[in-house]
A and B are shown apart, each in its own frame.
Chain A
Amino acid sequence: MPSYDEWNQWLSSHFFNPENAGLDVLLYITKELIVDIGRKNDLQITDSITDDAVYSSFIDIVKEYNPYYNATVYPEAICTRAYRVYYGDKPINNVILDRESPPPILPYLALFILADVESNDDGIHDNAYYSRLRKLLCVGDSVAFDDFKKMDILWNGLEKWSRYYRKGNYGYFRLLPISRMKYIKYPRSQALLMTDDKDKLPDIFYAAGFATGMLPNEGELCAALLEYGKYNLHKRTLRLLNTGDDVLKERCLELISLEFEEWDGNPTTDEESLGKAAAVRLRANIRLSLETTGNTTAFYLRLFEDDEFPEGGYLLDLDSKKLICRRKNNPRWSTRISTSSGEFYSELFDWRKDLTFCDSLNNYKARFKGKNILVFVKGEKECLPSNEWIEVNSLATDEEFIMLVHNERLEEVKSWGQHSAQWRLLAYFGMPDDWAMFYGKNPSVELKPPSGLIIEKSISMVFEGGVKVGRKPVTHLYIENSPLFIPKIRIHNAPPKIRVLALYSNKECFLEAIHGLFKLPDLLPCDTAIRIEVLDRNNQVLKTKNIRFRKPHLAADWGSVPHRNSSGDKDKDCQEYASGAKVNGVTTIAESGYTDMYTRIQRWAPKENVQYTLGKKPGQITNRPLQDNGWDAIWAITNTTVCFLQNEQFLKENFTIENYFYNLKVNNEEGGNLKLWKQLLIECSKKNLSPNLKSVKIMLEKFITFAERLD
């Protein structure tokens, strides 16, 4: 098994390397990562060694590492040993940080993080960090760790090394102290998402009715985690999401977003065990849309989903009504749900009640979530008509919106809404009874919004479009002369007059905003971190994010391409298989009748008198290729009028054209049927299309020219 120094080196190169230059580095260390790093770097860790064995060996090695004295290794003295390793043989306060690699303490720091992140549901309270550390080190409950408070020096030392000595060339180690936790603030701030919380995320995403590929915004994601994860997630995670520090919360949501991107759309557990929250199997949401024309409004329904629709769309049942919707020209929104005879107006049902629409043929259910406050934003940002507004779950602080409120919440909404810009009552024909409609802009964040309404307060930066090919940092594909693959930047909840700056390769470039989206330049460097900064009017940095671009490249590993057996099924073990358009492992398969020129010609034009083979010399011509003519047939032409045969050119295999013309002279003794040869070449010169190959074209032209000169 690997030594302490090897683990240190692997962890160093994993977290701090030139690829992370300019980027923030958090030591998000989990059991899975330790096992991966071990397997990647140590060839002796074979498949027969279990993940648990690799992980235990790492813990044991760190636990027992003791390079500076030979005394018995007490587990409770682990911090003392870490401290000693950090300082080495140097006097106190003279630790060497001006070095290429980080101080050799990463395995220790990893151990402190793992104690926090790997919980295993052992009944230990979320906040009982020391109990979990004791359990990891297999020591008794009464044991106290010597010098634990000195560990801050190690964390700070690593930050100092990355920021001040290496100037971020290997990445900036970020310390995000959680207040109120004096000694464990640093390990805890690195481990924002516990492993078993991560495992529960698919169930929560599923229960919340999210659709894959449609990353919800931070507010929606956070609300879903709090609602559907309240019985599943650890309390500390919920606390962090609910009232936590903004930076940590954002980082935690960022990690959850990465999990979302990997999510395949399925829950991890059976339907029954998902609990009440997920009892209704949501396939998609049905949302209201409203259209305003003049002083009239009409309400419709659309299916909000980016999954495939069956042929012919969905035929939904609602109270014995048959409703139809299709996908047309919009990757997320269906056509308006309609009846076979025309429009279906949604005023027919109570918008406060949940409704389930079923398509029994496709076993498909979609839910309309009933609310007494419905919020709409302009549909044109989702490529819907400009006079249509679509229902959303959250509002950004800089957004224009329409709010539909039932009378029972009217006073509450009015008192909140009047603090929004341009707040006014809209009086349209077509409004259902007991509902009022308001228009507003820049929703108020000073007052608590009415329950059920999410206002995105913190500034956020989203890359829209492009093709993502890497995660840390966000890496996008860069195709020269194809700016469509460059993502655009959307800033949510920004104060007025912000500017967005891109910093790369010693350049600074303010980005142009088009329809609210900031556009990166068309020419960008690849494999370099580009730092995007949002600046306010005083040039204060409000938000930063990094992005990197990569040129088109071939996949690193083709091993996962399915091997198909002769019936087309996946079969990894078969010796003979098709992979893509190639067939592998098959020794010889005869071509269907194309083995030589003569047979090919027969296949090509089996009728006589449409093709002729020619020899090297003028006069050598026949339309019976299999006959022994006393000369070697070299190439063929056709006299057919069937257009698709005219550009077929046949040459004898491995025949070199350039040596061919030396013999091009009239030799009546050897010439066979010179008259037919001349006639065919000249007649066929218009029938035979110019071949694609220059050499063949020249050959044909030379023969024709020669034929024309013959008497």
Chain B
Amino acid sequence: MDYEPIVNELIFALSAKGKISFSDFNVILEVLYYEKGFAQNDAINWNDVIRDTRRFLESLGYCDVDYDDGKIYACPPALVLLPKNGLPSAILIGTYTPDVLIDLENFTKSHNDVCNFDWLEHPIEKIVSAFIPKTLCITAERIDLIETMAKDADIDIQISSSAANLLLKFSCSSTDIWENLKFTERILPLEPKGCNKTEFNISELRFSSSNYSFENFRLAQYRQINKRYKLMFWMWNGNEKADVDLNWGRWLLLHKANKNVMVYDYLHRQLLCPSSVPLPRLLARAMTLCSGTIPHQEILFYENDSFKRIIKQNEGGNAFSFDVYDQVSKPMADELRNKLGQSVIHLLSFKLFD
């Protein structure tokens, strides 16, 4: 397949549009879809391309996706630090133009002994099913060089701390969310009228039509009749309900059920979250910006309250797909665990050929 991994054209288009509706965004993707040869690849699903592209562009800080309004807002270009060990490294976030890239490249060329200009690769399975441009990463001997570079390119910079750390610390915790839920008692009928209901199953980590409650807590999804994608999410506590954000809601319920699903691989510095339980918006951005690359997916097997990367022959276990965030340090993983009320499970075994 003739696919150019640096899909910068998409970022140029976003930057020129500023604010764009989902349907217009899809039209742009359509241009790339045919030109890049996706249409010839049977393994690629158009809906997944749209969803993944939107989701990953947001977590990389290129744009902000407003699912309520169905709009995508391009973010201004800026250099932000990676929480990387060693020499200071900054990545370019927000939308940009070729001129911005030329300015940054020219600066590194004129300071090539102390600055380096590089494109970070995303996991291969993702870049063939979504339009994610490579991340521009600048490494410099000193941080003031990065500051000067941003000034030369006339773009913003954030160097007080790494973007991942700032977002992680800024984000509230599940305890805060729980305390701010406004529970009101429902009188009969308990369920809203004209809605189809599904509930979050903490064993299977997905919504399904049966009732799943832990003690009195339930997370229900209601799809309103006549409003096709209008969904409501209610957290139930006995007969009381509160509106809740879907992504927070799942983690709240897991916390209430003392179910730990977050896995940390200490040696590889990888944080693994179930793909069906995505991180809340700011935390997902924080984890993605630990490495500047989008998470890849991996299947883990769950057995006896632990997850394994491989299972031996004749060994059982339920398979779950996980989003794997790279370059997450232990303190960051601990911070995230605290925010979500999880105890991190450490991996018991590793891939055979690592």
Contact = CB atoms under 8 A, between A and B. Distances in A.
**How large, as a class, is the contact surface on chain B?**
35 or more
A321 interface: no
Nearest to A693: B116
Interface stretch (A128-136, A217-225, A393-401, A641-649): A641-649
B142 interface: yes
**How large, as a class, is the contact surface on chain A?**
35 or more
B226 interface: yes
A211 to B, nearest CB: 8
Contact of B23 (A265, A283, A558, A562): A265
Contacts of A569: 245
Given A466-B31, A642-B267, A694-B114, A566 B156 contact: no
Interface string A577-621: 011111100101111111000001101100000000000000000
A560 interface: yes
B211 interface: no
Nearest to B266: A606
B196 A360 contact: yes
Interface string B46-66: 110011000000001111101
Main SS class of interface, B: mixed
A-B pairs, top 9 by smallest CB distance, nearest first, are A581-B61, A555-B18, A580-B75, A213-B23, A552-B12, A568-B281, A592-B331, A566-B172, A484-B35
Nearest to B25: A213
A581 B285 contact: yes
A554 B223 contact: no
B60 A696 contact: no
B139 A692 contact: yes
B95 A593 contact: no
A265 B166 CA distance: 38
Interface of B: 9, 12-13, 15-19, 21-24, 26-28, 30-35, 38-39, 41-42, 44-47, 50-51, 60-64, 66, 68, 70, 73-78, 80, 83, 85-87, 93-100, 112-116, 118, 139-144, 156, 158, 160-163, 165-172, 176-177, 180, 196, 223-229, 245, 247-248, 267-269, 280-282, 285, 289, 329-332, 335
B98 to A, nearest CB: 6
B245 A594 contact: no
A257 B272 CA distance: 48
A266 B243 CA distance: 25
Interface stretch (A57-65, A177-185, A322-330): A322-330
Interface string A125-162: 00000000000000000000000000000000000000
B83 A594 contact: yes
Given A329-B46, A580-B64, A566 B15 contact: no
A603 B15 contact: no
A552 B228 contact: no
A387 to B, nearest CB: 18
A328 B87 contact: no
Nearest to B247: A568
B139 A693 contact: yes
Contacts of A560: 18-19, 73
Nearest to B33: A331
A469 B97 CA distance: 14
B170 A589 contact: yes
Interface stretch (A40-48, A348-356, A419-427, A650-658): A650-658
A311 B208 CA distance: 13
Nearest to A211: B23
Contacts of A453: none
A576 B170 contact: yes
